[in-house]
Structure 1
Amino acid sequence: MELFNSALGKNITFVHPAFFIIGGLTGIPNITLYYVFLFFVYIVSVVGNTVVMAVIYLDHNLRTPKYIAVFNLAFVDLFGNTALVPKVLDIFLFGHYYIPYNDCLTFLFFCYTCLSLQSFNLVALSYDRMVAIIFPLHYQVKVTHRFMFSLIASLWVFTIIAVLISVGLLTRLSFCKSVVINSYFCDHGQIYRLACNDHFPSYVIACLYPVIIFWLPLAFILLSYLYIGYTLVKVATLQEGLKAFKTCIGHLSLVAIYFIPLLTTFTLMEKIQPNARIINLSLTSVFPPMLNPIIYVLQTQEIKESLKRTSNFIGMEIIS
């Protein structure tokens, strides 16, 4: 961050606090039960996403462009919940509300990076489904391993740069009043509002971020499925259309789980009590990474068959 600050201006002193205080989720009756639930969600997320990654890695039949994106989503889900849930439990369950300044910005960076990559990965999967259904004869030419690796790498680079800029701008802020963050983690919006100097650049980032990370991916996904639906109605029989659309059920379930809770929470933001809003937002952060692997195991025939082959192989090894 020192390089970022020196590039924007020298001989400028910013007042950075020694620590921030995470003040959300306090004073709620029986909140300990919620922390137990978060721990359960985290364990299921770790096991589920690890299984999905292991199956894709071990089964050569699943090393296709689509499953490269699925593997990346499982990795991001695992990484994201690991960055968020243990720290949230440490803060609120064990009373470590004071978090050092640099640790808070690092916490913010990892949480926002994973949340953003989850959204972008759903875009990559929607593109895969669109090409597979609308251009089936050209699918292997348009969606190659190289293309998918390049796409995912580009999404990682773009996301990391965007989040680094938002974090870097926070280091240009001075904090001379409250250091209490009313959230369950080091939330960008909560931090820049605590600043006592001009925070307009961070405000602009806070306005642009939901558009880039939430609205544009959602718009692309919806348009891709409208295009798929229009094409199927136009050129396919009802039976063929249903068969083709069945391959999209898993992805559509992931999209619904990720976007609908966020859309509902942000739409009703002003009508929800602050603590209830914080709990809702925390659930929207940890639930998709837990449910995504379950949905793919249940909805994807290739993964179910691979799990059966793996379990049968392990059973035979144990017997022998």
Structure 2
Amino acid sequence: MENQTLDLDVLIVEGLKVTPQSSVPAFILLLLIYIFIMVSNIGLVVLISTERSLHQPMYLLFCNMSINDVFGASAIIPRILSDVFIPMSQRFMSYDECALQAFCAHFHVCIAHTVLIIMAFDRYVAICNPLRYAAIMTHRMVLGLSVWAWSISFLLVGILIGLSVRLSRCRRVILNPFCDNASLFKLSCENVLINHVYGLGTAILILASSLCSVMLTYMRIAMVCLRSKNQALNSKALQTCATHLAAYAILLFSGCIIITLHRFPHLSDHRKLASILLNMVSPAMNAIIYGLQIKAVREKIIIIFKRATPGKVKARQQRQLSYISEFTTDIKHVAGKSNLVADCLSRVVIGAVQLGLDYTRMAVDHVADSGIQALKVEGVGLRLEDVVFGDVGVTLLCDVSTGLSQPVVSASWRRSARTVTPRC
């Protein structure tokens, strides 16, 4: 009895089904994909962490996706690689290790869906309510939503795997490239109805929640873009939303295929291939989508590569290029005599701005204007003083509460002042 129990605690995992002739090409291909996943996702996290200009909610959520992809790929691919050259009958794994791998695999998929839900909300606020975006999507809010995504996933997947671990076992062969929840409860000869119900219920809940949230938010975003006539805004919204939709489509399509094929035993080989692709294609594509399609990230990567090229770009130019890359607007030169706004804002005192008004006549009207004389008496919270204004040496009543001499304009002069004063 002890030997039988010991045998059931050591499982045989089918792993990757390849012939001896194709084992080397398969190993090299999987290894290259795994290296690309690790380097690209970790590089994206390091880039966002070190560049202060990328410390924004959208990019911090990208970090969640990249960390999750590294976690999911590391839980599955190294074990498959280590078993490629081992005969199928000798690919042993302890039951505890199998349960842990199953937990990591489902945890990775669940986090991917919850983080994509948060990213959909982030895009909704940024496009549909841009004036309040900074107030709503604070760093504290992003941190709270990230903790919520990981905690909910941990709870749901923990219950899922716990229901399978509680079952007694009568088999020891995992007919799958790696361990997952379905492989665990298939080892038992007990009634697994509750496992099916909870597993399908959890999958439907996660898929329905993510699908509904993405559809509702993007329908609202589409309505806002259709009403807006700003082509630049619509183009930027389309770019950021397209990356999110592409990542979500890959994840949703792969997950639906695996869930469907699990219900058809005669399509087991197709299901195994789909399960491997889910844990390789999605993490690799996410790094490409978010790393190369987002303009800000792409420009930062280009600048970093330019920094690595000695003798071409000076240090000061590198800093300037890094700062300029934070802006997406077109920079155009406007001649000084035509740039009235900048000319007005650059003046230390308002008296230095030649407005083309007759200050002498304005001073005379100050004396005759009853409203201005009433201001001298009432004050109305202003600091009014007689100030010598401009180069003509006339005295005008000015408000000096802001530290600048701002002349009080009588009613008869307001139209003329608005006409000649730059809108600054």
In structure 1, the residue matched to 2:149 is 155
Q: Given that residues 165 and 184 in structure 2 are in contact (C-alpha distance below 8 angstroms), is that contact kept between their aligned partners in structure 1?
A: no
In structure 1, the residue matched to 2:372 is none
Q: Which has the higher helix share?
A: 1
Q: Distance in 1 between matches of 2:216 and 2:166?
A: 39
The Cα of 1:64 is off from its aligned counterpart by: 1.0
In structure 1, the residue matched to 2:63 is 71
The Cα of 1:28 is off from its aligned counterpart by: 6.0
Q: Distance in 2 between matches of 1:209 and 1:35?
A: 34
Q: Compute the RMSD of aligned alpha carbons.
A: 2.5
Q: Given that residues 261 and 267 in structure 2 are in contact (C-alpha distance below 8 angstroms), is that contact kept between their aligned partners in structure 1?
A: no
In structure 2, the residue matched to 1:10 is none
In structure 2, the residue matched to 1:85 is 77
Aligned pair partner of 1:129 in 116, 123, 128: 123
In structure 1, the residue matched to 2:107 is 113
Q: Distance in 2 between matches of 1:61 and 1:133?
A: 20
The Cα of 1:51 is off from its aligned counterpart by: 1.1
Q: Distance in 2 between matches of 1:56 and 1:109?
A: 28
Q: Say whether 1:38 aligns with 2:27.
A: no
Query: Could you say if the C-alpha distance between residues 249 and 72 of structure 1 is closer, same or farther in structure 2, counting changes exceeding 3 Å?
Result: same
The Cα of 1:212 is off from its aligned counterpart by: 2.9
User: Which segment is superposed worse, 255-264 or 147-156?
Assistant: 255-264
Q: Given that residues 128 and 143 in structure 1 are in contact (C-alpha distance below 8 angstroms), is that contact kept between their aligned partners in structure 2?
A: yes
**What amino acid does structure 2 have at the position aligned with 1:185?**
F
Query: Could you say if the C-alpha distance between residues 201 and 317 of structure 1 is closer, same or farther in structure 2, counting changes exceeding 3 Å?
Result: farther
Q: Distance in 2 between matches of 1:20 and 1:309?
A: 50
Aligned pair partner of 2:163 in 169, 184, 187: 169
In structure 2, the residue matched to 1:192 is 185
User: Which segment is superposed worse, 114-123 or 267-276?
Assistant: 267-276
Q: Given that residues 101 and 180 in structure 2 are in contact (C-alpha distance below 8 angstroms), is that contact kept between their aligned partners in structure 1?
A: no
Q: Distance in 1 between matches of 2:214 and 2:21?
A: 39
The C-alpha deviation readout for 1:68-93, integer Å capped at 9, x for no partner, is 11011111111110111001222343
Q: Which ranges in structure 1 are unaligned for 5 or more consecutive residues?
A: 1-14
Aligned pair partner of 2:243 in 250, 254, 257: 250
Q: Say whether 1:60 aligns with 2:59.
A: no
In structure 2, the residue matched to 1:300 is 294
Q: Say whether 1:203 aligns with 2:196.
A: yes
Q: Given that residues 24 and 278 in structure 1 are in contact (C-alpha distance below 8 angstroms), is that contact kept between their aligned partners in structure 2?
A: no
Query: Could you say if the C-alpha distance between residues 268 and 199 of structure 1 is closer, same or farther in structure 2, counting changes exceeding 3 Å?
Result: closer
- Give the TM-score, by structure 2 length: 0.66
Equivalent position SS for 1:248: helix
Query: Could you say if the C-alpha distance between residues 266 and 198 of structure 1 is closer, same or farther in structure 2, counting changes exceeding 3 Å?
Result: closer
Query: Could you say if the C-alpha distance between residues 41 and 144 of structure 1 is closer, same or farther in structure 2, counting changes exceeding 3 Å?
Result: same
Equivalent position SS for 2:224: helix
Q: Say whether 1:144 aligns with 2:122.
A: no
Q: Given that residues 20 and 99 in structure 1 are in contact (C-alpha distance below 8 angstroms), is that contact kept between their aligned partners in structure 2?
A: yes
In structure 2, the residue matched to 1:241 is 234
Q: Given that residues 117 and 213 in structure 2 are in contact (C-alpha distance below 8 angstroms), is that contact kept between their aligned partners in structure 1?
A: yes
In structure 1, the residue matched to 2:41 is 49
The C-alpha deviation readout for 1:18-72, integer Å capped at 9, x for no partner, is 1222125436686523343222211110111011011101100001111111011
Q: Which ranges in structure 2 are unaligned for 5 or more consecutive residues?
A: 316-424
Q: Distance in 2 between matches of 1:175 and 1:267?
A: 25
Aligned positions of 1:21-32 closer than 5 A? 21-26=12-17, 32=23
Q: Given that residues 46 and 78 in structure 1 are in contact (C-alpha distance below 8 angstroms), is that contact kept between their aligned partners in structure 2?
A: yes
Equivalent position SS for 1:103: helix
In structure 2, the residue matched to 1:230 is 223
**What amino acid does structure 2 have at the position aligned with 1:313?**
R
Equivalent position SS for 1:94: coil
Equivalent position SS for 1:279: helix
The C-alpha deviation readout for 1:217-273, integer Å capped at 9, x for no partner, is 12211221112112222x212724344222212212211222223334555664973
Larger radius of gyration: 2
Q: Distance in 1 between matches of 2:295 and 2:103?
A: 36
The Cα of 1:284 is off from its aligned counterpart by: 1.7
**What amino acid does structure 2 have at the position aligned with 1:287?**
V
**What amino acid does structure 1 have at the position aligned with 2:113?**
S
